[in-house]
Structure 1
Amino acid sequence: MAYDWVVFDADETLFRFDAKRGLTQLLQSYDVDFTEAHFKRFKEVNAPLWEAFQRGEISAADIKARRFVDWEDRLGVSSTELNRQFMAQMGTISSTLDGAGSMLTALDDKVRMGIITNGFVELQQERLATHQFEQFFQFVVVSEALGVAKPHPEIFHHTHRQHISEEVPTSRILMVGDNPYSDILGGQRAGWHTCWLNEHQATCPEEVKPNHTIRHLSELVELVA
């Protein structure tokens, strides 16, 4: 199937997001040994915040202000500042998925490319610069800046209107991501074609119907070409 545009998710599609490592390094800077119990508690606080953001119930600023609230009194630092430091750590330890660079190079003269990510602006900019990926992308849409998160169709419609062109049929746009709900179901509801990056051979939810499924980014080159 030929496409004019390929739009990627960022975390665990192009870039690894090792939250545990980033948190460990952040807390070590405060002389705190970050334990499995700490990580479990962080996930218990963090996951519902992101889910609420994706439903449009809270803002990205709310996530920053609330997800490190357990540590504010102990460290004497605001949750928002701890989040900033955490994002800086994540930028420092950033790595890419295997084959991401060669895949982007191979697609560069075949299609136009962009990114839609649920995340924070500063981290996207730092990772793109660190790995010299900026040259490949015509746009980067970040949910924090837009105020709407995947899987809401509006983030896809906004991207189509403002960064691609409404003259391009939705069937000529391919959304690639690892999350069956935010990436695949979101793209599906916007009328885009979708490609699920399923590295670990997970079972696809029944209501999610990707047009394509791959296990490695190298497969995308043949699919798009």
Structure 2
Amino acid sequence: MAIYTCVLLDVDNTLLDFDAAERQALTDMLAEYELPHDGQAYDVYHKVNRELWDALAKGKLNKAKLFQTRFQRFMQAMELPDNGKCHAMNDRYEELLATHADLIPGALNALEELGEVATLATVSNGALAVQQARIRDSGVERYMDGIYISEKVGAAKPSAKLFEHVLKDLGISNRSRVLMVGDDLLADIKGGQNAGLDTCWVNFKNEENTTDIHPKYEVHSYEELYKIVMEPEELENIGVRNRRHSNEA
């Protein structure tokens, strides 16, 4: 039996390459509206969007407000006149984003390996329609025992309420065998800690942790994650299919 018999996984920049999807969807949308869509525009938008999502995680605004204001703030930051189309721009951006199910290399193989020894579920704060489409189209869905999106559950990371719902729905009571895995220290790691779970920071970009949030583990590859989740004898069987695992965590 694995060290962790249930692995909860963030979606964006943990399994799916959100940065690539964001850049392409933003570029295409801005081009449609005949607005600047170069590297500077992307950097400005990325900064504005990151600040808003961090504010959401801190409980300073809700998702509806985030979607309502982010392109207004983008236009202001770019010193562009208000064109009265910021709401429509956001809707079009979300539509385009939903079409980009870019996988991080090795993600599906990692899910196949982890799914041999543990119950798997995604836990995401992303927009419901966008995440459902991307999780489905990427192939991630078929490896999951549960897919949990904050908009549908009614609670967002890092709130413990989201994780309480997930564990109850999966029928898991032993939290010591549950691992929360994600790239966002504030949403994923702090959220897992708020729910009393062990946490693993996916740091594929080798970034410095400048926060006061300290995960139990840090990995730079999926292979490193195997060593945290699996017992030694399971590591020896990497690549072997149809191994049995217990859903009781």
- Specify which of 61, 65, 85 is matched with residue 64 of structure 2: 61
Displacement, 1:110? Answer: 1.3
Distance across 2 between alignment mates of 1:41 and 1:184: 26
Matched residues, number: 221
SS of equivalent residue, structure 1 residue 204: coil
Matched to 2:205, the amino acid is H
CA RMSD across the alignment:
2.3
Q: Which residue of 1 aligns with 2:107?
A: 100
TM-score by length of 1: 0.87
Distance across 2 between alignment mates of 1:128 and 1:206: 29
- Specify which of 175, 178, 185 is matched with residue 183 of structure 2: 178
The yes-or-no answer on 1:187 pairing with 2:192 is yes
Per the alignment, do residues 42 and 171 of structure 1 end up closer, same or farther by CA in structure 2, a change over 3 Å counting? same
The yes-or-no answer on 1:77 pairing with 2:85 is yes
SS of equivalent residue, structure 2 residue 190: helix
Displacement, 1:78? Answer: 4.6
Distance across 2 between alignment mates of 1:83 and 1:146: 23
Q: Which residue of 2 aligns with 1:13?
A: 14
Per the alignment, do residues 77 and 205 of structure 1 end up closer, same or farther by CA in structure 2, a change over 3 Å counting? closer
Task: State which drifts further: 50-59 or 94-103.
Answer: 50-59
* Contact kept? 2:122, 2:148, Cα under 8 Å: yes
5+ unaligned residues in a row in structure 2: which ranges? 231-249
Q: Which residue of 2 aligns with 1:198?
A: 203
Distance across 1 between alignment mates of 2:223 and 2:94: 28
Displacement, 1:206? Answer: 6.1
5+ unaligned residues in a row in structure 1: which ranges? none
Q: Give structure 1 regions of 4+ aligned residues with deviation exceeding 4 angstroms.
A: none
The yes-or-no answer on 1:164 pairing with 2:174 is no
Post-superposition CA distance 1:35-82 (Å, at most 9, x none): 3443344245423322332222322111121112338942x5351x32
Per the alignment, do residues 109 and 63 of structure 1 end up closer, same or farther by CA in structure 2, a change over 3 Å counting? same
Post-superposition CA distance 1:164-207 (Å, at most 9, x none): 235x2111111011122211122122111111111122233463
Matched to 1:84, the amino acid is D
Matched to 1:85, the amino acid is R
SS of equivalent residue, structure 1 residue 65: helix
Q: Name which one, 1 or 2, has greater alpha-carbon Rg.
A: 2
SS of equivalent residue, structure 1 residue 113: strand
Distance across 1 between alignment mates of 2:8 and 2:110: 13
Matched to 1:191, the amino acid is G
The yes-or-no answer on 1:209 pairing with 2:210 is no
